[in-house]
Structure 1
Amino acid sequence: MSLPLDSPALALRAAIHAALVTDAALVALLGAPRIHDVPPGDADFPFVTLGEAVVADWSTATEAGTEQALTLHVFSRSGGRAEAFAIAARLQAVLHDAALALEGHRLANLRATTAEVRRESDGRTFHALVRFRAVTEPV
């Protein structure tokens, strides 16, 4: 993932991607390090995508800061919800309160907030949405 990291949102995404692709338990659940910013059209299942980010100013009178709400997506076709739930739980375990190193920014906190699993309209794909809240500060 070679993106300019001058924004806290891009720095956080790069750090999350690096943490996820190196987590052996997650890679085992996925069958390979299938964590994508944008998945290829022929992506193998299951896989994770780095989804939407909402970035807001979190500055105080004396300190600059950013609050981010980030959604990770899990897509599974294992025939049930269990695989999507297992991958979602692993994402939460890896990232909740993780001390990630961000280029040009400091991660004050990263918290898992919600997770849900739903069946997609094709009837065979299960989609987990795992949401996180992060606060970052410039270094």
Structure 2
Amino acid sequence: MAPASLALRRALRDGLLAHAPLVAALGGPKIWDEPPRDAAFPYVTLGEARVTDWSTGSSSGHEHALTLHVWSRQGGQTEAQVVAGEIVAALEQVPLSPAGHRLVNLRFATADIRREDDGRTFHGVVRFRAVTEPG
């Protein structure tokens, strides 16, 4: 059985890939842990994850702080904003089933879009909070 964080990460990627408007905005299924060297923009990477104990006296669980990164080189912020919006829409609509765990909740936390130092890449950071229990 995969740890809760790994199971949730796999379910998250599968859920994002199941959301046709996101895949269309990306121009294909371009959601990776580590992008290929020649990855065409735009794309999404699964970023940092922080897991904390969320157990009570009678049950066990984990709280997850999840980060997704949007990468775009389309002029201006529009493309990065659209992709970030589709990520939020996907995770509000697509049911996630982490193997061996039950997703208690998943909530959007924040999104930031900024221009990188190269002056042409826009980087979106989209954060979520999730709680899982053994299932």
Query: TM-score range, shorter-chain basis?
Result: over 0.9
User: Aligned in 2, Cα 1:97/1:26: closer, same or farther, shift over 3 Å?
Assistant: closer
The residue that corresponds to 2:25 in the other structure is 29
Q: Supply the AA of the counterpart residue of 1:20.
A: L
TM-score after normalising by structure 2: 0.97
Answer whether contact 1:97 1:111 (CA < 8 A) is retained.
Answer: no
Answer whether contact 1:99 1:107 (CA < 8 A) is retained.
Answer: no
The residue that corresponds to 1:105 in the other structure is 101
The residue that corresponds to 1:130 in the other structure is 126
Alpha carbon RMSD of aligned pairs, Å?
A: 1.1
Runs of 5+ unmatched residues, structure 1? none
Runs of 5+ unmatched residues, structure 2? none
TM-score after normalising by structure 1: 0.94
User: Aligned in 2, Cα 1:22/1:76: closer, same or farther, shift over 3 Å?
Assistant: same
User: Aligned in 2, Cα 1:98/1:62: closer, same or farther, shift over 3 Å?
Assistant: farther
Question: In the TM superposition, what whole-angstrom CA distance separates every residue of 1:39-87 from its partner, at most 9, and x where no partner exists?
Answer: 1111110000000000000000000000000000000000110100010
The percent identity for this pair of structures is 57
Shifted more, 98-107 versus 65-74: the winner is 98-107
Superposed displacement of residue 10, structure 1: 0.5
| Aligned structure 1 segments of 4 or more residues deviating by more than 4 angstroms | none
How many residue pairs align between the two structures? 135
